[in-house]
């Protein structure tokens, strides 16, 4: 079994990092009990920092979203969290997942296997939820092996979701790589994490899909009440 699919807690590299990670996990468990979200966001720092973005405030917050992102998480860390309560005590309509870029040392296939394991677990625990996988973003100011690795993961995921009516991959790389193959600091301030401009650029396609899905789901709920009416 590759480590990307084995649920584990992260190593305590800073002396308090595991304690802080577990504190966030416990907070998420409480939030799951208190909230009734329609959309659950799960992932690493890109998801975590999304909650401080303008597009979150403008669009996603009003969709009754809850954010379970933790910076530095790998696929196996997200798996541990989901196996240990973060999918309990809530019934979201949609679950959005973005993780994998921190899986250093793993092959594209191993990272994709981790994401497939996450998706399978979500489908088992939350069968009513539509799952949205977000593509891994490119990284680095100039071309590099990790950028190529993330691209390869996305290609595997494209094949994985084909024919699956309850899982969809959304490409959030909306032109971050410029014609000279560099990434602008205006989009990613450290060539990894998104700026406000970058968040709007990356997550507008997600906003469009979520809006469409929620409208369709609302229509499905209302339709039985109106059928046969005169």
Q: Cβ distance 139 to 147 under 8 Å?
A: yes
Q: Cβ distance 7 to 76 under 8 Å?
A: yes
Q: Identify the band that residue 219 occupies on the pLDDT scale cut at 50, 70 and 90.
A: confident
Question: Where are the domains positioned within the chain?
Answer: 3-10+17-173+180-215
In the block, which residue shows the tokens 């979200």? 37
Q: Choose the catalytic residue: 12, 16, 109, 190.
A: 190
β-pair partners for 67 = 41
Is-catalytic flag, 193? yes
The string of pLDDT tens digits covering residues 13-54 is 888 999 999 999 999 999 999 989 999 999 999 999 999 999
Full-model pTM: 0.94
Tokens representing residue 59 in the block: 């669009």
| Class of domain 3-10+17-173+180-215 (CATH, top level) | alpha beta
Instruction: List b or e across 55-70, with b for residues whose CB sees 16 or more CB atoms inside 10 angstroms.
Output: bbeebbeebebbbbbb
Which carries the bigger pLDDT value, residue 229 or residue 96?
96
- Strands lying side by side in the sheet with 65-69: 65-69, 39-43, 94-98, 130-134, 167-170
Q: Choose the catalytic residue: 45, 53, 65, 117.
A: 45
Q: What is the pLDDT, as a whole number, of residue 222?
A: 52
The string of pLDDT tens digits covering residues 156-183 is 999 999 999 999 999 999 999 999 999 9
Q: What is the mean pLDDT of the chain?
A: 94
């Amino acid at each position: 079994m590759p480590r990307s699919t084995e649920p584990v807690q992260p190593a305590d590299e800073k002396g308090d990092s595991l304690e802080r990670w577990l504190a966030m996990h416990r907070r998420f468990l409480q939030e799951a009990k208190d909230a009734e979200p329609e959309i659950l966001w799960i992932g690493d720092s890109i998801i975590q920092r999304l909650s401080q973005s303008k597009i979150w405030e403008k669009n996603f917050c009003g969709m009754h979203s809850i954010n379970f992102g933790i910076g530095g998480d790998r696929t196996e860390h997200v798996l541990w969290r989901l196996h240990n309560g973060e999918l309990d005590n809530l019934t979201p309509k949609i679950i959005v997942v973005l993780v994998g870029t921190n899986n250093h040392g793993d092959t594209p296939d191993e990272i994709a296997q981790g994401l497939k394991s996450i998706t399978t677990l979500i489908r088992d625990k939350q069968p009513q939820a539509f799952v949205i996988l977000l593509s891994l973003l490119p990284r680095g100011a100039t071309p590099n092996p990790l950028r190529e690795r993330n691209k390869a993961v996305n290609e595997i995921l494209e094949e994985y979701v084909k024919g699956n009516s309850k899982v969809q991959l959304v490409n959030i790389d909306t032109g971050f790589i410029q014609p000279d193959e560099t990434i602008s600091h205006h989009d990613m301030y450290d060539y990894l994490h998104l700026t406000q401009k970058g968040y709007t650029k990356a997550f507008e396609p997600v906003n469009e899909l979520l809006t469409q899905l929620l409208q369709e789901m609302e229509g499905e709920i209302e339709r039985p009440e109106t059928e046969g009416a005169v």
